[in-house]
Each structure stands twice: as structure tokens, then as C-alpha cells.
Structure 1
Amino acid sequence: MKKDIEIPKVEGVYVAAVKEFNKDFGAEEWNAYLINDSETALETVLIVTRGYDGRKQTSTMRHKLEKLPVSSFAKIEFLQEDVLALNNEFWITFFRDGKMFEKKFVFRKNSINEKAVQDLPVIPKKGVLVK
């Protein structure tokens, strides 16, 4: 039954938006990162992203990482300036110690901005963090 299904809690895994200088385009841009600040590697990481609000919706993007080691991070995708005005959703599914974990991280519309920047775990930069 439903009560017998164990849904493990995701801890030590975050999504962050970091503003970085792109040398190729000579401009500042926001990039989304997956952070593993736990004591166990993440395996077979599946990431599904989309932007939405009441009227608009972006395409759904899918990404896969074979492994994200302990205390590390990986770039997920570039965030276009237009998309920052939407809710940005990141569904993260992964295996840890033989169990499947899943969590939805959402940057609320207009929450990715310079005023919301803070120190980030693992990444030696500042950014906007979703826990």
C-alpha cells in the first residue's frame, strides 16, 4: 500500500544559478549547476528542466550525468535572460546507495537576480541557491 512505500529524503543536493562571464560571447550569463554536498556520490542522475508561468512555457530539456562525486558540482544548462522571468523547475532523480531519490527544485520567477546572490556550498563562487 501507499504507506509501505519508502520515499527517502534528499539532503546535501542543491541547484544553483551562477552568473559567469562567457569569453566566447563577451557577456555575463546565468548558468544552472547541480551541487552534491553530501558524503555519497550520486549515480545515474536524470535532470528534467522547464520554465513556466500561467501563460508561457519553455520546451522541456533533459540531461543525464553518469556520476556526480562527493563534494562536487556540474553545469546543467545556460539560462537565457527571458527565462528568468518564469518559474524555472528542475526535477532531479538519482541513485545513492542503491536507492532512488527524487526532488523538485524551483526558482520562482524573477528570483534569479544579483540581489539574491549568496555564498554557495562546494562552488567557489556566489549564486542563487535552491534547497
Structure 2
Amino acid sequence: MIKDLPPNVVKDIAVAVALEGENPESKIWYVYLINLKNVPLENVLVTSKGYGEKDGELVKTSILRHSFPLVEANSYKLIEPIDEQTFGLNNEYWLSYYIGREIFDKKFIFLPESIVDDNFIKLPIVNKPGVMIL
């Protein structure tokens, strides 16, 4: 039962959308998992999907699944490239991982139009401009 699971709280873990580069036609964006902890994450699973309304119609993207056996302490992993055409949708990343024998999970959602220059910071560890959710 869900009530029997320990309330493991996800801290010091972020998902970020980073601007990798740009040319006259478009910008190149990547999504990263950032481990700000001093311990590694094991058996990491991330699912991603986009959903919302565009031009008055409901839109859903494919669900993508990513796994990483290990994300070292104070490091990051590239999850996937992201197309800026999806920035008008909710972009959801559901993360699950283990630390030792304990499991943790958290949902990170970039709301429509939240990935904009006004929200940019210098992403820790990745050292690129982008938007981050802790």
C-alpha cells in the first residue's frame, strides 16, 4: 500500500533545460538531470512527455523513457534534446532513483512558456544558461 512507503523527499536534484547553441534558423536545447548531492544516484529512470493545448486543440507528445545505471555525485546527465516548438506545452519529467536501498521519485513540470530568457540562470555544474526546476 502507498501509505506503507516511506516519505522519501527528493532534495538537491534538478531537471534543467539548457540553451546549447543557436544559429540564424533555430536554437539548440537539451534537457539535463543535475545531481547536486554528495552521493551518487543509482538505477535512475526518467520518463518525459509533453501535453497541453495548441491552436485550440489538445496535443500530446510520445512518452520517452531514459535510464542511467549511475549518476555520480555533483554531476549531470543529458536526458534528451528538446524542440522549442514544445515550449508552449507542459513538459513533464518523472524521475525515479535509488540511494542505497531507498527509492525516491518526483515529477518536474516546465509549464507553457516558462522556458524564456527572463527565467534563465547559469545552471550549476552544467555551466550553461537555462531554466531549472529543483
TM-score (normalised: structure 1): 0.91
Corresponding residue for residue 31 of structure 2: 32
Q: Which amino acid aligns with 1:108?
A: L
> Of 79, 87, 99, which residue of structure 2 is paired with 1:96?
99
1:28-54 deviation digits (Å, cap 9, x = unpaired): 311100000001100010000000014
**CA 1:28–1:2: 2 relative to 1, 3 Å:** closer
Residues 81, 3 of structure 1: CA spacing in aligned structure 2 closer, same or farther, 3 A cutoff? closer
Given that residues 20 and 128 in structure 2 are in contact (C-alpha distance below 8 angstroms), is that contact kept between their aligned partners in structure 1? Answer: no
Which residue in the other structure is 2:10 paired with? 10
Which 4+ residue blocks in structure 1 deviate beyond 2 angstroms?
A: 1-5
Partners of 1:127 and 1:14 lie apart in 2 by: 12
Tell me the percent identity: 33
Q: SS where residue 86 of structure 2 aligns? A: helix
Q: Pairwise CA RMSD of aligned residues?
A: 1.7
Shift of 1:21: 1.8
Gaps of 5+ in 2: none
CA distance in 1, matches of 2:130, 2:106: 20
Letter in 2 for 1:20: E
Does structure 1 residue 82 correspond to structure 2 residue 81?
no
Deviation at 1:126, TM superposition (A): 1.9
CA deviation after TM superposition for structure 1 residue 127, in Å: 1.0
Q: 1:6-30, CA deviations, whole angstroms, 9 ceiling, x for partnerless residues?
A: 120001110000011279xx85311
Aligned residues: 129
Deviation at 1:83, TM superposition (A): 0.8
Distance 1:122 1:42 in 2: 16
Q: Secondary structure at the match of 1:111?
A: coil
SS of equivalent to 1:7: coil
